[in-house]
Structure 1
Amino acid sequence: MTGSQTPPSFQLAYVPGVTPTKWVRIWHERLPDVPLTLVQVSAAEACGVLRDGGADAGFVRLPVDGADLSAIPLYAETTVVVVPKDHVVAAVDEVSAEELADEIVLHPLDDTLGWERPPGLPAKDRPATTADAVELVAAGVGLLIVPQSLARLYHRKDLTYRTLSDAPESRVALSWPQEKTTDLVEDFIGIVRGRTVNSTRGRAPAADRQPKKAKRPEGDGARRKPAGGKPAAGKAGRAGKPGSGRGGKPGKGGQGSKGGKPRRRS
């Protein structure tokens, strides 16, 4: 390596609510010589960070802004409503949007569900962030509808959440600049898609690339013997002398033989 070359590295962006721990662990197991750096970004900033080269790939929320970014949808999240623990909604397991018609529902500026207006009554002002909206819910100002992962991320002991049955879902995807689909990006795509070590673009460890030993062919002297080490009785009888009985012994006159010894021809 010359002084002008830099060692390979990989920058992975992720939005709040996404937990990349599992994929990062697999990366370190398969590519221990390539450091991976996590870059946390907001959902609104994610696409811009990828375009500007701030990350090689990233976990973003769909839809992806622009055709210059490739995306692999991964999963969709359950949508929930965050409420105080003593709220009437906390008494049920699931609630519909219609049942929130008389409730003030906060709509933060970094909303990730993509609707123009959530159900319920709008608040006087829109909170700047989801974290700010959670604080307002705790203060009794209103309720908040978010993907379940965000409700867990901003969990408070005085708040809880319940499933909202008829709300849009937030979908998470792996995205990267289409023109920068490097070998390392391909490696990470393979990890996310669950490919095995041997199928990830030739980056299998040396031990896994060793050819398997061929089985030794069995020679004439390596024929298997019947169980017990002795020939079967039926086979021994067929291998006996002419005129023998079932046990392989010469037959005696009267039984097992018609004429005893054969006559000599003159």
Structure 2
Amino acid sequence: MTGSESSPSFRLAYVPGVTPAKWVRIWNERLPDIPLTLLPVAADEAPGVLRAGGADAGFVRLPIDRTDLSAIPLYTETTVVVAPKDHVVTAVDEVSCEDLADEIVFHPLDETLEWERRPGLPALERPATTEEAVELVAAGVGLLVVPQSLARLHHRKDLTYRTVTDAPESRVALSWPEDGTTDLVEDFIGIVRGRTVNSSRGRERTPAQDRTKDQTKDQTKAKAASQAKRKPATAKSGGKPQRGGAARPKATKRGKPRRRS
């Protein structure tokens, strides 16, 4: 159990671009007595925060070193190029990395995409953050390729974005320390995976809970057998019941009348 026994709590880290509001709302509905604290962290700092015990679980961007961390991949994001609204790339719905070959493309130090070969022409200096790179794009200095959620996070009225068809994609996962799989972590995993409140796939049952379940089944079977013994047997009827009044005598078949000679 995270926190003290008298006042448990749950700390959830999340990286830029991830919106945990839906899962937090479900948590508050199911576990109103256990407060959930949100901790925004940089993408490259998230694994260290989890390992240091700064959060019970967190939304991270893959890949990460899973030596002592568990991770459940959740979804993959579309990659886009951020550009001024009057830039030539905005004339089409999607572009390729080759289309950016003659453009200056910023690659900030907190970049979350893994490139074998970065597209475009390199800038003289790498911006420290994605936010700084967006400011440079707005100034007309170059372009920026990022996961779509980051383009939305740093949205500006003078900028837009287009899909990059052959760029690497960013995967978001729920991660937590392997040795910190508490009941509350299991509860949150169930929420993220869409399990209902009555789902049996959440926390594992203890042997005592299994025995109780078996005893309940045995009691239900015994009760059903007892009721079956007490129930009187009903006589079987050979035909359909008659409607009201006395039963009519069964008609006999009459043969053809004989012709008189």
How big is each residue's C-alpha offset from its partner over 1:124-180, in whole Å with a ceiling of 9 and x where there is no partner? Answer: 000000000000000011000000000000000000000000000000000000001
Residue in structure 2 matching 1:242, options 246, 249, 253: 249
TM-superposition CA deviations, 1:16-35 (whole Å, max 9, x none) = 00000110011001101100
Asked if structure 2 preserves the Cα contact closer than 8 Å seen for 1:107 and 1:117, the reply is: no
Alignment partner, residue 40 of structure 2: 40
Cα distance in structure 1, aligned partners of 2:29 and 2:104: 48
1:19-168 alignment, distance < 5 Å: 19-115=19-115, 117-168=117-168
2:36 corresponds to which letter in structure 1? L
Distance, in Å, in 2 between the alignment partners of 1:235 and 1:62 is 75
Query: Following TM superposition, by how much is the alpha carbon of 1:112 offset from its aligned partner in structure 2, in angstroms?
Result: 0.3
Deviation for aligned residue 1:202: 8.6
Q: Is the 8 A contact 1:106 1:123 kept in 2?
A: yes
Q: Counterpart of 1:48 in 2: which secondary structure?
A: helix
Shift of 1:114: 1.6
What corresponds to 1:169 in structure 2? 169
Ranges in structure 2 where 5+ consecutive residues have no aligned partner: 206-215, 217-222, 233-239, 256-261
Aligned Cα root-mean-square deviation (Å): 2.9
- TM-fit CA distance, 1:243: 2.9
Q: Which has the higher contact order (CA 8 A, sep 6+)?
A: 2
Identity %: 74
Q: Runs (4+) of structure 1 moved beyond 4 Å?
A: 214-217
Cα distance in 2 for residues equivalent to 1:243 and 1:157: 95
Paired position in structure 1 for 2:190 = 190
Q: What pairs with 1:227-266 in structure 2 (closer than 5 Å)?
A: 235-236=241-242, 240-244=247-251
Take 1:95 and 1:243, find their aligned partners in 2: how far apart are those partners? 91
Bigger drift between 58-67 and 168-177 goes to: 58-67
Distance in 1 between the 2:19 and 2:142 partners? 28
Letter aligned with residue 31 of structure 1: L
C-alpha separation in 1, matches of 2:180 and 2:89: 47
CA contact (8 A) 1:104 1:123 kept: yes
Correspondence 1:201 to 2:203: yes
**Cα distance change, pair 96–121 in 1 and its aligned pair in 2 (3 A):** same
Give the TM-score normalised by the residue count of structure 2.
Answer: 0.79
Give the Cα separation in 1 of the matches to 2:250 and 2:195.
69
Bigger radius of gyration, 1 or 2?
A: 1
> Displacement, 1:118?
1.9
Q: Which residue of 2 aligns with 1:263?
A: none
Give, in angstroms, the shift of residue 67 of structure 1.
Answer: 1.0
d(CA) in 1 for partners of 2:49, 2:98: 38
CA distance in 2, matches of 1:136, 1:81: 14
Q: Which residue of 1 aligns with 2:211?
A: none
Structure 1 counterpart of 2:65, which letter?
A: D
1:156 aligns to what SS in structure 2? coil
Aligned residues: 225
- 1:242 is displaced (CA, Å) by 2.8
CA offset at residue 235 of structure 1?
4.7
Contact 1:243 1:257 in 2 (8 A): no
